[in-house]
Structure 1
Amino acid sequence: MTQTAVMPGVSAGRGARRASRAGGNAIDNARKRLFVPFVGPALLFYSVLFVGPSVYAIWISFHKWAGAGAMEFVGFGNYVKLFGDKLFLQSFGNTLVLLFVVGIAVFAVSFGLTLVLRDMVGRKIARSVIFFPHLVNAMIFGVLAGFVLNPGGLVNTLLGWAGVTDPPAWLATENLFPLIMVMLTWITTGYYTTILMAGVDRIPPYYYEDCALAGANAFQRLRYVILPLTWDVFGTCAVLWTISSVKIFEIIWIFGGSTGQGIPPTRTWSTAVYTYVTAFSGESIPAYGMASASAILSLALVSVLVVLLRRVMKRDTIEI
């Protein structure tokens, strides 16, 4: 009878591997058992409140529907109508202006304030003051702005005391959208300043000490230390702004409506306002199909821009 010799080390190694696999399987089984009670409710909640309505909105966008009665399938007809609708194209253009122009202004001011406040005495108090406008609801700012800028409001009263007999018509239709851009910049600057300051604060002091020993000036310190070590923070802020800018609605609706027309002038509309008016506040029959198509296009815009931002701003992670 032939016997096969087994080396003790090999046998022990196989046993260890079997034990390791058994332990790994036990952990995987435990994770699977915990998935349902811990992740399941959150996943169900997310699916019901976001995935389900999103899929249903896509379905509605392919139909002509007034919110009641039968739906009429029109395929891509609603999307074709949108790209032929001058009002939608204008609203879409306004959204792009808010996204890029206001976004550049917000990040320029926020980063400038971050650099100014970095070594400033009382920086925590200053940061709280800058952040305060973001805590106030945009609707309140819209109401207050309409109150102080109306012909008999606070601003024109102060200008009258200063000797200005013919103050500007602040609430004229052609001035509303620029004022909205200024207010959005003011409201959101504090939020992004706080995030960028947190990113700058995590840079260890010895980086600045090395720059001082090397004789680097302020621009070189900014280029070779601050920007590379906060690039991931800039990327996060860019994604957050992209998402929030496409959803801008309240301040346009309230401030634009302060002219007394109820619905804001069309030249101030964003795609969010266009979608709302088309679905709920239009003078004609509600067009839920057109409104859903507008919302889906906004979602597509955000998705494409977020993917592009992540690709463009992707860099190797620098360990601090």
Structure 2
Amino acid sequence: MQSSSQLFPVALLSAEFRGDLTEDIYRLKPGNSPDSSVELALTRLGLREGSRGAPVILLHGSFSNRRFWYSPKCLGLGPYLARAGFDVWIPEMRGHGLSPRNHDYDRNRVADYARFDLPAIARFVVEQSAQTPHWIGHSLGGITLAAALGGGYLEEGQAASVALCGSQVSRVYWPLKLPPIAWSSRFLLKRMGGLSGARLKRGPEDEPLGLALETLHWHSLFGSFGEKGNDWWAGLANVRTRVLAVASDGDHQDPAWACNKLLEQFGSEVREYLRLGRRHGFAEDYGHIEMLISKGAQREVWPRLLHWLEHGALPAGQDALAQA
């Protein structure tokens, strides 16, 4: 693998023009985790003409890939931010999209993404852009970002701000607190060998067994958000990075109260909360996906995220915490 980085081997897989944008796709081989076969695809979007602005890293959620953020016709939040002048980077987690399945794919966990993959991505983006990146994560992408910050894996100079969209770890599934049901669930997951996005009608990608078992542990009777020897939840109190949480009244998968609870655990001086829904002046109660992928989101949510990135705050009067 030829390298375009001084950090670790990086291959430029393609460099294309997509209308008014450029699309460069890299494959990183960080070699920083126990599984040396891990390779990560990283797409970079920018204006075809003009200089690149501050970098923004977009993290997709479960059962997803880079197409959550931009379509083949270059529509989506990624191109929107690139056309606004940002240097947009879109990673794909292990075994998703253009990232090949690593040797120990079945054992992949959020702990691996947070400890090894996000820091490697951050280092490469900082190297290429010479600036500290902003981060936006949706669903599991936001949870992974919170794990990386709470676990102390992302350094202060690797995150200028973070936005967590539809991300939470506090919703309680009471049946999983019962040991017999938890044991039965683990048995069934192992028999299934992972989660099929197509079979479950959740998205285009599959999720590994390790991630499913890890999530099950978080919700078990004595489970917690973290790993052995590192309590990510407690660690969030030490984070000082500016943080925004985006939640919606129509998101029944990751309810607004739980997203707010994750936000309030951060020790950041700047914490803002954008709650979507008709009761809060929006045109609709956005669902879990629709909060970022819909015509309504394009009109109402994207401009607010852009304002957050440009000014380090929501437009005046938009912060639901300040209104409470």
* TM bin (shorter chain): under 0.3
Higher helix share: 1
| Structure ID, larger Rg | 1
Q: What TM-score, normalized by structure 1, do the two folds share?
A: 0.21
- Judging by fraction of residues, say which structure has more strand: 2
Higher normalized contact order (CA 8 Å, seq sep 6+, divided by chain length): 1
State the TM-score, normalized to the length of structure 2: 0.21
